[in-house]
Each structure stands twice: as structure tokens, then as C-alpha cells.
Structure 1
């Protein structure tokens, strides 16, 4: 898509500090039809003087034309001088002039950021970044260099982290104006062999992807229903989905064919987990239901929470079930109740050694609980909005959290120190999952995209 009018006057600063583009009046999707119009000389010729590159003025705009305008916008915002006034006043052509000595008027910015801005404003198109992911990655690297993540000192734990700080970078994004999901991402799951990624969306589809290259394998389309949660069987052969209408379905993960539909719940299914031996399925709704996967029959119903059960997790040995509810409580079945959150508990996770429970809440905090003492170790603060998803790395060293503040945070699970903050999503982060080898983190968001992050 080309915006055509990107400049310093159609960017709005929201109260939370986020910058948003507010004018899409003449934006165009780079479709095959539009490409044909450009070849016929009928392309859109809207320009913003001082911001638009030559190819846009001639009706041949491409996505990199907006990159040029973005660079000029950076210069305007940093220097306070309109790009038009920074051009060569003696040999003036707004579509071929370079910005004269703009760096001297912005001496306080880093050289690496200035270099990126110059790349954005390069006259030759092939000198500009190839796509938005390149820009975001460059900005992330500059940010990390200039502002290394602060170590967070938990309120009741003083040990200094010994974890080696990993390098995390965005490998690719699934979803765009012309492909991927068209609605919120509700849930994501990775197969036990780490080869397949599955996503569920508000667009009433479930998509199966090749995690290695990001190619879509096939799409499952639901009938007037929305998949809210996913889980894959330990053998990697079966996918289970729970829906907004309370339906649980089993699918062949290779073909996408439906295998079985379980008896309907009377309420939306919020979460699904499977026991490590693959024999038992747990579903959470207004209560928790236990299903025998050998005969697909309902075994029992657990009904202790006083509100909807938003999240469930099972210990690696399959002996302990943990659930979190709208009523702010966490249940360790059937041992005790953990309290401390001020609002609904949206997500729980259990460490690989089974000794730690992590919970994320609408109260914007993450709590770390000791499974042996059944007491809170410490609370992590840093998110500016609800924590929607938490996940623990396969080696048990790191915790990730995704929030409605659009950020993902990586923490040291032992000390509570914040290691990284990842940005890139433009709406709430709804789901997080590690690959089995711990080298890949996948995030899903209400911005309809899925981001695949590589950990080194």
C-alpha cells in the first residue's frame, strides 16, 4: 500500500506516546489492477511538496515512495524545519534536490539514526530499505545500542542475573494487506517438531503455516464461528480448537479435515491443554471440563471458580492443573487457591521443572509463584496495560509477556530482571509461544499479524 500523503502534518501523537497515521484519504493498495494503471500512465499523482520523491510525482509510486516521505518527515520533526526550506535555494527542484546540511541542524541525534534517515531519503529507489521489516529491525538495533534494556530489580528478590543476554531479532511477519488473517489473532500454537505454526483468528479461519519459511500451507474455514484457542496433541497429529460458540473440534493437522466435534459447552471456550501422555484434554469455559481422548467422552466437570476460567496449564508430569479466572484467583487443583491479582487472570504458565507458576493479569502485572510453598515470589511491573499472555522458555530460564500496550517483554524467570522489550505490533499482543528448541518466539496480535522472532 502507498499512502501518498505521509508528512509531518498527518501524524498524531496519542496520549500513550504512540504515533499514528491519520490520513488514508488517497491511499492505494499495490494491486495488480493498480500496477496496470501505472503502466498506462493512470497512476495516482498526489504529492506533498518537499516530502514526495520523483517517482511519485510521475505517477509511479511504490511502497518505497512512502519510505522517502518517512525520512523527510523524520527530518522535519527532528529539525523543526520544513524539508522544502532545507533544499538548495539556488538550484531549486523539490523532486531532485537533496536536503542541504540537515545533519548539522540535528547534531544531537545519533549518527546511526541519521544514516538510516539518509537511506530512507535516497533518490535511487534501490538504495532505500527493501521493506518495512528492514526499517523496524534497523530501528530496533539502534534503540538497543542507544538505550540498553534496564535490569529490573524485583521487590523481594536481590540476586543479580547470570543469564546470558540473548540476541533477539524479527525474522518475518505473517499478515499484510493482501495475505494472512484479516482479523485479530486469538491464539497460536507450534507443533512438537517445531516445523508447523497454527493460528486462529476473529476472521473465522484457522491457518496452518510452515514455520521455517512462513509459507501458508492451508486454511480451515469455520462455519459462522470463531476459534478462540488452540492446542496440538503431543504426537503432533491432531489440532484441537475451542470456539466462541463453545464448540471443541479436532482436526487432522496434515490435511485440515475435521476428525471429531465434542459436545458443546454452554459458554465460549477460552483455553485448551492436553496432558503430556496425550490421553486427556482439558477445556476452560464457565467451568473446566475433562475429556478422555481415547473415546472422546466427557469424564468430569470442575466447577470451583466463581467466574469464567480464562486460562489453564498443566505441569510437565501431568499431575497438576493450574487455572486462572475472571474472579482474580488462581487454582492449583485441587490443592489451594492463590490470590494477589487485583483484576482478572488472563494467562498462566508452568515452568519445565514444575516448580514455578507465572500469571499475567488485567492489573498490568505478572506474578511469579512458588509451586512448593504456594506463595508469591515476586511481582513484575513494567507493562502499561493488561497482560494477555505469558510463556516460559523450554530451558526454564526466560519468561515472555505480551500486553495490550502492544509490547512484548522478556524477563529472567529466576530474578525478575527485564532483559528486553520487543516492539513492532500496532495493537494488543494476544498470544505468545516458544518453539520446542527455544530458538524461536512467535507472537500474535489484534493488529492481525503474527511475528516470528529469532533468539540467538
Structure 2
């Protein structure tokens, strides 16, 4: 016990700057304890930095900074030691930092709406910090954490400086140099002359990382010969106005950046205002008659719905690759190997153009908006009950005909990443960043059982075997476990550590379990044989199997849908399906179609009988993170940057 008040539980990290980080408890309240490393206790400059962090945080009262009490800094004298320990106790932020969050999400990019929200939150935090005559000096993804509520939190204020001080470039014999993080530190700070606008530079570079999923020093976007950062091509999802703001934030000269947090916030408001303006009407659409048409569905209640789309805009970049690959994909899904091989042999021949399907309209039926953070998981139960869970740590159970939840389940201590449903649809399994698995009775909403510390890192995926007897779980550290779905007892640990797991899937007969994420592997649960599939090019977000159980379909962050021989692990075909990360792939309930959902804000539907795309649904007002097939021609979606579930109704042609 420290100060007869704090019970130290475990070491979290010894790699955090000048200090070690522990988990501690004050009564039953979790805290973070930072202890200055003993090797630095006699260094006056380091001690000053450590004490400054406590002083700065104790002066700030904002959900975007960790809370430190006035007496949060103290000195403790351990028994038998001549050197005192310098300690800071602060609020524990229940969530990952943005670097960890990106890895958990499969390293795919965020959309403009989420970027605007997060940049506004961070600018608001900096506004408070700068008003207190401090600036941070070390903004980067690792120093930004995500609360369960969706609020970003700026951490590690050890490098914060008063605006009136003379900045220290080198601390002489101490061996400590200017605070610097490659790719995020501006030129003037590298020279030991940081200014408040230095925070804006780091903020802009952080946004580029989130929008492109590439570190600012990545050679694919950074040209060291010209010192140019060519990032825009990797963030096609954002508007010109927002891109201009980010470019201004990362201007090489501090004088060319926005000068105050007020200016940054005003420009963010201007970007949002510009988005609310109706797009210009195009009078003369350009047609390309030699191209077969891509049927298009327009969604109501969206600015895009009022803008006539040209054939060139919608069809030309995608049609040939979709038409060529459509037959192959649909043959896979209906399980006709002979047809599949025939398609492969005839890929160089031009298929005859089919008649375009009637254009349908889709309107927004209702918005389910009780969540206070992004939604990570969706399930449909018995055709009319929807279950959602996400960043706000809540599970909401909805009747699709109502706009308020019928029941709210609370019990998780952090972000909910995944949900699974028992085969009789009576039991719900949930898991996430708190590393626990919770088991619920859906009818009553009661928590039946908790599997505490089921994993050592955030749990990203759950799956139920077709016979309902086995629950599988997979985590960010690559661990895969099997549990008795009824008793919660651990059956087996298939893998102790390995590539990150994003998604799990039992094959249709339950004999194998497939894990996708940073790699793709399958385990035969009868023989314990493990098959590693041919290496994928990017993180896998979702998996599905063909009706004949022979082909595995994977949706990836590199915009592709891949088709694999489930028996051998061989890659059969790759289709570039979308303009951004493919987040979900779902085979329809009647097995006649499958749907891909993407961060580009589109759904693509394929018909298995005609082996042609039926429609491309576009006009959604955010990226699409999860998709559920609803009853009566309904489409249910949620976006990674949206806190709502939206129900869309298809109309008759």
C-alpha cells in the first residue's frame, strides 16, 4: 500500500519515458500509478519534467485529459532504500491508444466524419492546454487514448512546456535530448525551439496516419529527397477542404500553420458547414455505351441522392473488373466446381452484357441512435430483434419497429468488440477490450456468467459452432481458445500466441475453425491439424463460406475480396471489390446472394443464379462497418465513424 491509500496490482509498462507504469486501486477504483525510474531520481531536469506532468494535469479539468488530484504527486520512501520514489497517481483511461486501436481495427483507414470528430475533440483539448500557457510537444497516436465513451484523451504531459520558458534543446551530461517522435515532430522542435503551433503539426501528422494507415515516415508517402509528404492519394475519402486544413497544419514553417486553437476550431466548423451544402447539379451526364450498365440504387435522405450520377462516375472504374469476376464469385457461392474452372479458363473472353436491372430507390426507414460511441458489432435475432454493442461499453437490444432500445445490458468495463449468438438464439456472448467474456440471457437481459480475463489482450472475435456446443474466442495477441458454450469451461487453447485475430468462423459442418486477421489459418478440430493459408496482402476483417462448404470468402482492408480453397488453403481468386477497406461479407439467408460492405460507404450485392451484380447500393451517409440482412427487404448498417444503426427500406421498382 502506498500512502495507506493505493494498492499496487501489476506492472503495465517499463518503457514509458522516464517512468514505470503500474495498475493500482484506490479502494475499488482503478488508477494509473507512474513511478519515476530510480536511475533518474537524482537528475534534476528529469525530475522537473516528471513533476511538471502532475502539475499540468492537476490544473486541467476536461474529459480529454487524465484527471490528477491536487495531491496526486507524492514522494514515497521504501523500506531499506535510501532513494525516495517519485509517484503520480492519475485516472485510468479505459481503452486503447490510437496506435493500438488501429491494429485492433485491422489497420484500415478512418472516414472523414470520424476524422473531423476526433480532430475537433483534440483541438478542444489543446485549446484548454494552450489557455493554461502550456503546450504538449509530444502528440502522436501512442499518446492519444480512446475512452469507452468515444472521447479521445491526450496523455503523457511529461514533455509539456510553459510558453514563457526558454526551451532546452539538450540537457548536457544527462543524455536527454529534445523531445522528438519521428514523423510527428516539426522542424522547429527538432532544433529545440518548439512553439504552440508545434502541437498543430503533430496533430496534422496524426490525422494523416489515421486517414491513410501509414506512418508519416513511411517511404510510400514520404520522399526523403524532396522532404515532401504525398499523402492525399492514400486518403481519397476526404474532401478538398479538409485536406487543405491538414496540409496547413503540417506546414514546414510554424508561421504558415493556424496560429491558435480558435482558428483550428473555426476551420473545422467551416469544413462541416461546406459538407452540409447541396452538391452542384450536373446537367449533361456522360455515357459510355460500350460498357455494360451497373444498376445503381440511390438512398434517400442523403446529399448524394440529389446529385445525378454519370455512367462514367459510377461504372467505368469498376465495371470491367466486377463483370469479369462476378461469374466466378457466384459460381463459388453456389458450389459448382466445374463451372468455376470453366470460368477461370475463359476469363479473357468478353461476356455478353446483360440487361441492366431496374433501378430501385432505398429510403431511410429509421435511425437507432442511443449509442454514445461507434458501434462494433451487430446481430439480428429471430428476424426482428437487433443487438448492437460498441465503444460505449453497452449492449442495446432493439425491436426493429421502435427507435428506442427495449433493453440495455451493462457489464463490460471497456469497448465491446464482438458479439455471438447461441444456435437457439436464447443466449448472447460478448467480449472486447476488457478481456472478459460475458454470457447473457437475451429474454431477461440478465448476466448469466462472466469468464474473467479470458485472454491477456483485447478479444476481437467470438464464434459459435453449428451444433451450439463450442464457443471460440480470438484476441489481439493471436491467442485462440475453445470454451464449453454451456458451462463456460475452457476446452482447449488452439494457439497461445501469433498474428492478430480479427474474425473467427466455424465451417458449415463444424469440423474446422478459421481465424482471420493478420494471417489466415484453419484448425481441423477432430485431427488438430492446422493449415496456414497462402499469405494475404492485408488484414482480414470478415469471413464467410460458400453453401457447399468448399470455398472460404475473406473481406480485407486492402479493398479486396478473396476466395480460398477451404480444403487446401490455396488462393483461388482475388477481386478488388471496393475503393476502400472491405469490412464485412455476408451470405444471404437463402444462399442466393452475398453482400460486401465497405468503408467506401457502399454495399455490393451479387446474384448467384445470373452470376451478375444485382445492384450497388450507394449514398450512405457514412462508411459501413457492419451489415445485417433485415426482414422484408430491409438493409441494416452501422458505420465505424457513426454512433447509430440505420435501417434502410428497399422500394419496389
Aligned to 1:441: 635
Higher-Rg member (1/2) = 2
Aligned to 2:489: 297
Contact 1:168 1:453 in 2 (8 A): no
Deviation at 1:347, TM superposition (A): 1.4
Deviation at 1:141, TM superposition (A): 10
1:382 alignment partner, one of 577, 585, 592: 577
1:174 alignment partner, one of 346, 354, 367: 367
Q: Residues 61-76 of structure 1: matches in 2 within 5 Å? A: 70=277, 73-74=278-279
1:240 alignment partner, one of 429, 436, 453: 429
Aligned to 2:415: 226
| Count of aligned positions | 342
What are the Cα deviations for residues 31-63 of structure 1, in whole angstroms up to 9, with x where unaligned? Answer: xxxxxxxxxxxxxxxxxxxxxxxxxxxxxxxxx
Q: Residues 139-218 of structure 1: matches in 2 within 5 Å? A: 139=305, 143=309, 150=319, 151-154=322-325, 157=344, 158=347, 169-175=362-368, 179-191=369-381, 193-218=382-407
1:16 alignment partner, one of 236, 243, 247: 236
| Structure ranking higher in helix proportion | 2
Deviation at 1:422, TM superposition (A): 2.4
Contact 2:417 2:431 in 1 (8 A): yes
For the residue of structure 2 that corresponds to 1:395, the secondary structure is coil
CA distance in 2, matches of 1:162, 1:336: 40
Contact 1:240 1:249 in 2 (8 A): yes
Q: Residues 6-405 of structure 1: matches in 2 within 5 Å? A: 16=236, 19=239, 70=277, 73-74=278-279, 77-78=280-281, 107-108=283-284, 134-136=300-302, 139=305, 143=309, 150=319, 151-154=322-325, 157=344, 158=347, 169-175=362-368, 179-191=369-381, 193-264=382-453, 265-285=455-475, 286-303=478-495, 306-326=498-518, 328-333=519-524, 334=529, 336-372=531-567, 374-405=569-600
Q: 1:109 to 1:364 in 2, by over 3 A?
A: closer
Q: 1:169 to 1:349 in 2, by over 3 A?
A: same
CA distance in 1, matches of 2:434, 2:634: 32
Structure 1: 5+ residue stretches without partners: 1-12, 23-65, 79-105, 111-131
How much is the aligned-residue C-alpha RMSD, in angstroms?
A: 3.8
What are the Cα deviations for residues 241-289 of structure 1, in whole angstroms up to 9, with x where unaligned? Answer: 0111111101121222111101421111111111122211111113111
For the residue of structure 1 that corresponds to 2:458, the secondary structure is coil
Contact 1:137 1:170 in 2 (8 A): no
Contact 2:299 2:619 in 1 (8 A): no
CA distance in 2, matches of 1:206, 1:432: 17
For the residue of structure 2 that corresponds to 1:270, the secondary structure is strand
For the residue of structure 1 that corresponds to 2:305, the secondary structure is helix
Structure 2: 5+ residue stretches without partners: 1-231, 243-272, 287-297, 329-342
Q: 1:370 to 1:211 in 2, by over 3 A?
A: farther
Contact 1:425 1:445 in 2 (8 A): no
Contact 1:357 1:370 in 2 (8 A): yes
TM-score, length basis structure 1: 0.64
CA distance in 2, matches of 1:314, 1:439: 27
